[in-house]
Structure 1
């Protein structure tokens, strides 16, 4: 029995029998966050942010990913008076691309013009 438990623990520690990761959309349901997704339809890696971020380059999101120039879809979970968000093409809030005005607003595709170009975002009052 001890041998069986030791083998089971070893398999679990190496990642066998582990549950698959949650879809990107499932990771982006935390109230007060903004998520940018690597691919359209909320697929691929997702960066989860709280607060404004002036430059994605060199920054790591709450879930450990770096997201500069990789947004293809997004989810805005902002609430309250500061629930609106503006995404920018360059660092330091330069060149406005899209706006997310409203609670739990999302977009499954940013469009060809804005795909993989986001470098900062800022929360604003609605």
Structure 2
């Protein structure tokens, strides 16, 4: 996949991140049956091994909700089919442009896949 952006020294640090996210959604994520009580974490925040994602996952497990992935940065190509299977999506913290971009991804997931 190629993206048209000028990197972190350009107009916006996250342009490439969100453009590749869009391309992954367009090319590799297909509608599918929802997995009951499942959630997709959106954003990085230190990855699945970071304190934030680990705590969110722990709390969700207490309610019987399974985290099926952390999109886009921490899902392998063969896991992308799980993106549309998630019943819910949670935007992991952040501020500014990152938060705005992740909310747009969440809105896209809702519109296209009913997540």
TM, length-normalised to structure 2:
0.29
Higher RCO (Cα < 8 Å, 6 or more apart):
2
Q: Which has the higher strand share?
A: 1
Structure possessing the higher radius of gyration over alpha carbons: 1
Q: Which has the higher helix share?
A: 2
